[in-house]
Structures are given as C-alpha cells and as structure tokens.
Structure 1
Amino acid sequence: MHPFYGAVNEFFAEGYWWVGLLSMAMYLTFWAVVILFAVKLFKKYFTDRPTPPKSEEDSALKILRERYARGEIDAEEFKQKKSDLLE
C-alpha cells in the first residue's frame, strides 16, 4: 500500500518519512523512462530519414558514363559494361 494512503500520521510517527520520498522518486523515474522511450520511438518512426549513401554500383555507372561521354569507349562497349554492372 502506498505510504500516503490511509493513516499518514501513524506512518510518519514511526520514522518512515523517507518512504514517501523514495516512492516519489520511483514515480518520477518511471515516467521519465516512459517519456524518453516514447520520444525515441517517435524519432525513429516519424522523422525524415536521411537519404542512403550512393552505392558503389552507382559510382561505377557514373564513371562508365563519363568515359563514354569523353569518347574513351564506344557505344557497344558501353552497353556491354553497363549490362555487366546491372546484373
């Protein structure tokens, strides 16, 4: 039973005043944990997610396109290497 329900004067007369402080600290700790957990869940599921970093495949295709644009490879070689990268 909670120390502040019932005969409060008798409880304090016996020297157990610290139980009320302990109970209050436990309630505050409980609600602090619940609120922090709710905030973490909110941030995890309801905030904007950062864009994922580009994969190596994207950078390889970019290099391949640059080589084709500079004329280092012809169209047939570009198509072949592109299909190899996308497999």
Structure 2
Amino acid sequence: MHDFHFFGGGWMMFIWWFLIIVLVIVVVRALLNTNQKESNNDTPLEILKRRYANGEIDKEEFEKRKKDLLK
C-alpha cells in the first residue's frame, strides 16, 4: 500500500532521520560549548564592566563592586 522511497525506502528512512537528528544535536552542543568556553575566560572585572555596559547595574553599584574587587 505505502511505498517508502524516501532516502532509500523502508528502514533506511528511519536511519537517515536518526542521523540527521544526531547531527543537529552535535552541532547545537558544539555551539553551546564554544560560548561557555569564551565566557569562562573573563575576569571578574570584565564581567562587572559588561554588566554595567548592559545596564544590569547602575554606576554606584559598579563603583562599589569595582572597589571591592581591586582590594
């Protein structure tokens, strides 16, 4: 009744879909791992500067924390 001629037919269709899903997972994990490595190399002062630049903290909080870090 149903002819499975997609990517080779029958079980091959499931194998191809499995491989495609595995490939997507590997690529996503690689991208996430790259982002984590880059952010782990930041010093506390660089993180503080980035938070201030993004508007997460105000100038008063920035100066207070900067003073604590430089002690």
TM tier, smaller: 0.3 to 0.5
Q: TM-score, normalised by structure 2?
A: 0.45
Q: TM-score, normalised by structure 1?
A: 0.38
Compare CA radii of gyration and give the structure with the larger one.
1
